[in-house]
Amino acid sequence: MNWAGRNVLVTGAGGFIGSHLVEELVARKANVRCLVRYNSRGSLGWLEDIGREAYGAIEIVQGDLRDADTVLAAVKDRSVVFHLGAIISIPFSYVAPGEVVAVNIDGTLNVLNACRTVGVERVVHTSTSEVYGTAQFVPIDESHPLQGQSPYSASKIGADKLAESYYLSFNLPVTTVRPFNTFGPRQSARAVIPTIMVQMLTKAAVSLGSLTPTRDFTFVTDTVAGMIRAVEAPDSVGRTINLGSGREISIGQLVEAIARISGKKIEVEVQELRLRPKNSEVKRLLSDNRLARNVMGWQPAVTLDEGLLQTLRWIEGRLDLYRRAQSEYIV
């Protein structure tokens, strides 16, 4: 597909994955509008970190997904909408579930309604592997039961089902992509890989929660490539499609991998504060990515070690920023 001149909207453009998606779309010469949540500081999130040329090429709209008028204005004259805007923090969802539901479900409803009103050609809705909860079977394919093991995952299940309903009820051309544990430069300081790396670089020991859960880590450029392929592949419409590496690694093994690529010895201490509530812990995630390969011709290109090395080098160059931002919790 030729992206040159296509009018595109990215919600959540100031976030980790969103900012990488914006960069790639600009590189492909798309006309990119970015919806960024308004704040009194005027911060544009990670869009402030993209290259000067890319930043100069984008249009920025500040607002809130919960405001239907703002969303409709952002969607106006767009042919493709990538919906990434959401509150993604699992720990925050324990504290403020109402806000998480309002942004993730009501915000998604506003996006879907606006896309239907405008008559956009394609919508990509972003889900999360957290909607599967602890794996009942592996690898996890798209037919796996959905489990709301946190208010965050429950809100994303609701948003996913709204997207599904708008395809089935109104023939809205929407594809739901379901990334598994995306990582890379610009990821939140609360996420497990930055948490390990920042503590490794600044402390004698690394404090973590449970070391036994397993995750399927996918580098951010691969996730972005999957999102773009979801638009380019005609047979993706109406489907939910996993974007995962098909590799499984425990948090304890992840620490060992980071130690190996950094050449440092890492001491680990398990901290009670970092443990999820017992019944909320997702113990195992491993993606079945065959549908993505068969329908979209997508498969990950970056190995775990390659991605970890790129991420480590990026964090080393911004260590003060990450040290200030790092939370007591892990997303």
Backbone φ and ψ for 66, nearest 5 degrees, come out as -75, -10
**Count helices and strands in the chain by DSSP H and E runs:** 13, 13
Instruction: Tokens for 24, please give them.
Output: 């790639």
Distances from the Cα of 149 to the Cα of 11, 88, 145, 278, 280, angstroms: 25, 14, 12, 10, 5
pLDDT digit string, tens, across residues 158-171: 999 999 999 999 99
Name residues whose C-beta falls within 8 Å of residue 169's C-beta, 6 or more positions apart in sequence: none
Q: Would residue 312 count as lying in a domain?
A: no
Domain presence at residue 192: no
Cα angle value 124/126/131 (rounded, 5°): 140
How high is the mean pLDDT of the chain?
93
Supply the range of the domain harboring residue 63: 7-183+219-246+284-302
CB-based contact 195:140 (threshold 8 Å): no
Q: Is the pLDDT of residue 31 over 90?
A: yes
Could you read off the pLDDT of 55-77 as tens digits, one per residue? Answer: 899 999 999 999 999 999 999 99
Q: Above 70 in pLDDT, residue 114?
A: yes
Does residue 267 form part of some domain?
Answer: no
**CB burial of residue 133 (10 Å; 0-12, 13-18, 19+):** buried
What positions carry a catalytic annotation? 152
Task: Establish whether the linkage from the previous residue to 300 is cis, with ω within 30° of 0.
Answer: no
- Name the residue with tokens 């299940």: 157
The percent of residues in the chain predicted with pLDDT above 90, rounded, is 80
- Give how many domains the chain has, as a whole number: 1
State phi, psi for 213 to the nearest 5 degrees: -55, 145
Report if residue 21 sits inside a domain: yes
Mean pLDDT value across residues 112-128? 98
**In this structure, what CATH number is given to the domain that contains residue 99?**
3.40.50.720
The set of residues, in sequence order, having a beta carbon less than 8 Å from that of 32 and lying 6+ positions away, is 8, 9, 10, 13, 22, 25, 26, 57, 58, 59
**Whole-angstrom distance, CA of residue 176 vs CA of residue 126:** 6
Residue 330: the pLDDT is: 40
What pLDDT is attached to residue 280? 67
Identify the sign of the CA torsion 147, 153, 157, 160. Answer: negative
DSSP 105-133: IIHHHHHHHHHHHHT-SEEEEE--GGGG-
With respect to residue 19, please indicate whether it lies within any of the assigned structural domains: yes
Question: What's the token pair of residue 323?
Answer: 């040290």
The answer to the question of residue 111 being in a domain is yes
Residue-level pLDDT at 328? 41
The confidence score (pLDDT) of residue 278 equals 66
Q: In sequence order, which residues have a C-beta less than 8 Å from that of residue 172 and are 6 or more positions away? A: 112, 115, 116, 123, 166
In a domain, 331, yes or no: no
Q: What tokens appear for 15 in the block?
A: 């976030």
Q: Beta strand pairing status for 249-250 and 214-215? A: antiparallel
The mean pLDDT of 269-275, rounded to a whole number, is 69
